Amino acid sequence: MNYQPIKGTHDIYGQEIEKSQYIEELFSAVAELYAYRKIETPILEYTALFQRGTGESSDVVRKEMYTFLDKGERSLTLRPEMTAGIIRSIISNKLYADDLPIKLYSIGPCFRYERPQLGRYRQFKQFSVENLGSDSARTDAETVILAMQCLYMLGFKDLELKINTIGDKESRDAYREALKGYFSSKIDSMCEDCHQRLELNPLRILDCKVPEDQEIAKGAPKIKDYLSDASQDRFALTLSIINDLGIEYEVDDSLVRGLDYYSEMVFEIHAKGENGEDFGAIGGGGHYGGLSKELGGPDLAGVGFAFGLERVLSLADSLHLLDHIKAELDCYMIPMSEKVLNDSFNIVSELRGNGISVDSPLGVQKVGSGLKKAERKGAKFALILGEDELEKGVIQLKDLNKKEQIEVPLEEISEQIEELLEEKEHEHHCCHGDGECHCHDHEKEEE
Ligand code: AMP
């Protein structure tokens, strides 16, 4: 039997792993700049959590969940998104009893039974940020700014920020009625799903992907005509804060987002690859009013967003934002004969003990093929140990970038490599190889 990965899933390995780790670390660091802390919640939750939280009228819950009965006949679901689980965790652990707002971020796999295509998988990773307990236009704005800053720090420049408000409950109730009125006379020519959407939540008709239905939806009433004064003022303040920071946006009055818990401000971020590739929205989110209460917790408003990390990686790669990310290896040790194998093993252990990463074949290797292997592995230095060297108490140390080789006494090897690594790090960060460095250390040297 030849086992294949499950349709819509994919393995991540090689350079993709380094790149994806880099993105996760960078996004985490940006979230921490805004004083968010990490949370990990289970991938498996009771199905009812998503039915209540994510919303029964959403496509995700109606059609896309991986749901099954466990051996105890409990209905469980692989999370299709992160927000419901994070809010559940805040309630289960009474995190709201401490300081508000609660500011959390999380990274992990999500599962949706969707038709796999470019940028769309059945298992994908989300980076999710949630702020619970601060109901203000400023918090909404700060959340959008945090999302944009994550992408700017990764090197994205041409980002399309689409933003809209779907108003408070009063505004949405009035809007739903208007949509019901509009679609009722047209529903016979629309898809089966839209029949259900009309019953459950006519707002969801606006997410329909069927082109003919989208055409009909274009003529539908717009939310902006049903907004309460409070929702209008709130949105205007959010926009003015984003605007003051010089972040460009487009108010898109067709944006309603596919999950049921949203209220007030919603947003999505898009970008194109080098050759115009479109992987779909990189991320999206918004304010959610009633989710915590709906899940049995206190009545706290929240706001958050999620990025699809595969899409971020594909786009960043296409735009060459990650070309500098490679596997890192400090040294590759080449033992040239049987007689040096024990000493070579001990030197490698000593170097690792001092925090220097080393790879080595645990057997004899010819220098030529050893050097080639060291380069393939991206090692900064090769260490060559033969019987002559061992007798003299030295080792050959070759800088694989500069192609320079020096002989180093064995007892100094660790110290020597540490110094050279520090120099390389320094060159990488401040000299950029041009020799005209103005960093503190170099200026001091010149004085
Ligand atoms: P949502 O939870 O639907 O708002 O999705 C947030 C982000 O997750 C989207 O903007 C996408 O970047 C990503 N995403 C959602 N569904 C998928 C999928 N099936 N495959 C890959 N990424 C996805």
pLDDT digits (tens, 9 = 90+) for 220-239: 999 999 999 999 999 999 99
Query: For the segment 333-368, what is each residue's pLDDT rounded down to a tens digit?
Result: 999 999 999 999 999 999 999 999 999 998 999 999
172: enclosing H helix or E strand: helix 169-184
Which tokens hold the place of 382? 């090769």
**Residue 403 has what pLDDT?**
92
What's the CA-to-centroid distance between 28 and ligand 1, angstroms? 18
For residue range 135-159, list pLDDT tens digits in order: 999 999 999 999 999 999 999 999 9
Give the per-residue pLDDT at 276: 86
pLDDT of residue 2: 85
List pLDDT tens digits, range 156-174.
999 999 999 999 999 999 9
Beta bridge partners, 407, equal 396
**Residue ID of nearest Cα to ligand 1 atom 8:** 308
Cβ–Cβ < 8 Å for 385, 341: no
- Please work out whether the CB of residue 81 comes within 6 Å of at least one atom of ligand 1: yes
Ligand 1 neighbourhood includes 207 CB (under 6 angstroms): no
Instruction: Name the nearest CA neighbour of 238 among 284, 290, 287, 300.
Output: 287
Q: Is the pLDDT of residue 429 over 90?
A: no
- Dump pLDDT digits (tens) for 64-104: 999 999 999 999 999 999 999 999 999 999 999 988 999 99
Residue type, 308: G
Averaged pLDDT for residues 285-290: 93
Alpha helices in 57-109 (DSSP H): 59-63, 83-92
Q: Is the pLDDT of residue 381 over 60?
A: yes
Minimum-distance ligand 1 atom for the alpha carbon of 309: 12
CA distance 195 to 184: 9
Q: Which of 87, 9, 76, 101 is nearest to 54 (CA)?
A: 87
Ligand 1: residue whose CA is nearest its atom 21:
120
**What's the predicted TM-score (pTM) here?**
0.90
Q: pLDDT grade, residue 376 (50/70/90)?
A: very high
